[in-house]
Structure 1
Amino acid sequence: MSEAGLAVVVLAAGQGSRMQSDLPKVLHRLGGVPLVGHALRAARNLQPEQIVVVTGHGADAVARAVAKLDPEAETVLQAEQLGTGHAVRQALPSLEGFEGRVIILYGDTPFIAQDTLDELAAHPADLVVLGFEADDPGRYGRLVVTDRGLERIVEYKDADAATREIVLCNSGVMALQADLLRRLIVGLGNDNAAGEYYLTDLVALARAEGRRADVVICDEAETLGINTRAELAAAEAAFQARARAALMEDGVTLTDPGSIFLALDTVIGRDAVIGPNVVFGPGVTVESGAEILPFCHLEGCHVSEGATVGPFARLRPGAELGTDVHVGNFVEIKNAVLDEGVKVGHLTYLGDAHVGEHTNIGAGTITCNYDGVSKHRTTIGPRAFIGSDTMLVAPVHVGADAMTGSGSTITEDIPDGALAIGRARQVTKPGLATRLMAALRLKKEAR
């Protein structure tokens, strides 16, 4: 990072018409979060003084997403999409008084590595462009480099045959000093076929006043932009492959890596074991030594050391599993804290609840937390035993060492150490089942 500080501008105004979608392109999800979230995370990792996101198509939706992903980032509107140079100009009022280096990123380019961004931030040249050597340069703009640095950027349509032989291509990402950006950007023209103001023209303007321009070269895979659904699918595959490999490198066991899907912010500790067909949504932390069995879905939750989850379990936002908790098959946990050693074996829903340590929750238990208008909370003390098929009608409190009888509907608090039974008394009618079935069969035959 430069001594004068750093700011990041993220361009996220494009419609993305090739996506064939009403959703702004930067809001399509990759690794469980909108594309723009990847750019914001990369920007935030640079520890900048400011992040400014330029919105355009679907501006309100993009601004809401940015506020959720990075509340400290600012959004500004590019009301007319008149090119990348015009987009960056909309961010300048937000950078008034800032005198450090500005890095310009794109909301649809999710894979630029942290080392690459660090190199851009620290590079001594007045203006730096991120380039890559393309296997198939195609219609990318070419970077013309001499011993004096970056001479110019030539768009494919303007390049002669010799220039088209160059394989060093322009990614669009750029870094330059804020004072230089302010001075040069007002000199951009739109005398081109599209009538747009292009950021790439800053190179020629910088060179014209004797400033040094240069290139940082990265791997082509880092510059992958998303323009179509097919490219989004390819990017998802690339993201998942990298994320899985990183986890295994860090000591996590993935028993069938190709069937496990991770989010951008998934955190899993070493010696955790993840079974096949597990999906991690955003906001999941799994501590070392925990095990997630096959066919589970986790989102917005925390799983502590030694806990086991699944198979076929669902942890929803707000689920907090303590040490050595067991959550079994077809169990759903939502906005609930399970303290150390709690066991929830199967076929249970715990929502808006706190379960004390070493409590056993029987099969078929439900916290009835919603009255049609508001959610209500259930608390269960330590070492309680909840019988199978118990309905806990919240708000309700079950005391420490208390029990409920199987099949009970609990509507009142249970004191510590008490047994509560809330069910209709059984009535047995000898022989009635046989007589009833015979009568029904006769009735059917008579029809």
Structure 2
Amino acid sequence: MLALLGFLLILTFMFLIMTKRLSAMIALMVIPVIFALIGGFGKDIGPMALQGIKDVAPTGIMILFAILFFGIMIDAGVFDPIISRILKIAKGDPVKIAIGTAVLALLISLDGDGTTTYMITISAMLPLYKRIGMRPLVLAGIAVSASGVMNLLPWGGPTARAMTALKLEMSDIFTPVIPSMIGGVIFVLFMSYVLGKKERKRIGVAEIDYSTMAMQAATVDPEVLALKRPKLIVINYALTILLLVALIKELLPTTVLFMVGFAIAITLNYPKLKDQKERVAHYADNALSVVTMVFAAGIFTGILTGTKMVDAMANSMITHIPDGLGSHFAIITAIISAPFTFFMSNDAFYYGVLPLLAKAAAGYGIDPAMIGRASLMGLPVHLLSPLVPSTYLLVGMVGEDFGDLQRGFLKWACGSTLVMILVAIGLSIIPF
């Protein structure tokens, strides 16, 4: 009964946001409350929701100050040289721009942090997309697709969780799946090429003269020009690089790093209090829309976890796998990892479900390492989940609807997962 309630909750939620009958933020808060009441958890809704909010609070605060930090960097002109360089190489060709976006996102994703990837990629590329006339949704889709594949990196989170849950080493789980990861990268580049071709056809031009674009770029609003800090560009680059290094090395909690980074950035670039207030007010709309979504997701995950619906759904799916398919348990794990990580948090899947899958597979003589590798195949789909806070940041930055991103790119995410699974099977990374 609990599992059925959980599945109905998920299906109702997805239907409402993808058909735009409710906004994602409202659905995240209202739908789980309704289903919790139906399940008889009325008196426990408050504590469960509050626990979920507490769990996402550090992430919400981190995203808030990440928006403020990179907003300062954008205003100060840190990404202008990058945009100019990409513009010069691409010469206004949507195909080259789309592929360039993928390459940029893939490289930035090496730090394993989706928030950083989106902040830098969108900050650098969105002005260019708008200038060319390309759809911002394409930019968001390429960025999330690239980040989804690179999410396999051990320091990205899921792989580390899998290694910890199964008590295995990097050489057991991550190293063997590198070829699958490369397959995913190639698929993302192919996807970018296809999307670029569609944008080129839609815009109606094959290539735009760079000199014309450069003239347009030179026509800058005086108010925007007044915010530029060309004399501080070296210092701003150094500050940005230092922050990224600190994030990778985890010198301090991510939230603290972005708070301190923002404080330094705004003081250096806009020392007057009046200017600082104006800059913070300028980012308020975007920051508020993203952060409120994160806390709304906290209610969703808090109730889904607290009611044990997640556990019931996982156990239901595992117990209904026919014995005749037991020898194919690794492939089954790879396939179901996509919906599992889509509908539940990484912690819930890798610490709660994965050990159960490994134990069940052991009964058929399948090495736990194989199950661990298979569990990573669904990560491209995971980042389009309504439970991933950084994805709200992404859609907020490009000004698009979360449901539109899912409708447009879930199929591509499934394609990435399929390619990775096929490579894994072909190279015996996981047994057939």
Q: TM-score, normalising length from structure 1?
A: 0.22
Higher-Rg member (1/2):
1
The structure with the greater share of residues assigned to strand is: 1
The structure with the greater share of residues assigned to helix is: 2
Asked which structure has the greater RCO (Cα within 8 Å, sep 6+), the reply is 2
